[in-house]
Amino acid sequence: MGLEAVILIADVLLTTICTLAAVRLRRIKANIAQLLLIIIVVTTLSLVPGIGFLLSMIVFAYLLVSYTEATMPEAVWIVVIAKMLTLAVAIVLGLEWDSEAWIRLVG
């Protein structure tokens, strides 16, 4: 398994944990299996060159509304909180990857 695959798996796990924390902060009912599937889709979309970041954020909010009890404003806040938590945890852990991998981690 290459470094990029390891980074992708770490991104999915870290983002799932941070999204779960954000969902709990907003008191939205969602289980970890739903969130994991949403994060896998969002992470895969973020790999699309050029528009991947924007596309993944839109789909992230849409899937949160579709598969949890979140409203659209709550979903947007969950996306923002989850991405901020992911970035904070990555900084605390001292994760220093190349710029492309870092963009995928926070985007």
**What is residue 1's predicted lDDT score, i.e. its pLDDT?**
62
Q: Does 41 or 5 have the greater pLDDT score?
A: 41
How confident is the model over 9-48, as pLDDT tens digits?
887 888 888 888 888 888 888 888 888 899 999 988 888 8
Measured CA to CA in angstroms, residue 98 lies from 5, 7, 29 at distances of 14, 11, 36
**What is residue 62's predicted lDDT score, i.e. its pLDDT?**
94
How confident is the model over 39-90, as pLDDT tens digits?
999 988 888 888 888 898 899 999 999 988 888 999 999 888 888 887 777 7
Q: Environment class of residue 44 by beta-carbon count within 10 Å: exposed (0-12), middle (13-18) or buried (19+)?
A: middle
**What is residue 84's predicted lDDT score, i.e. its pLDDT?**
82
| DSSP per position, 24-87 | HHTT----HHHHHHHHHHHHHHTTSTTTHHHHHHHHHHHHHHHHSS--HHHHHHHHHHHHHHHH
Q: Where are the domains of the chain?
A: 3-106
- Burial profile 46-56: b = 16 or more Cβ within 10 angstroms, e = fewer: beeeeebeeeb
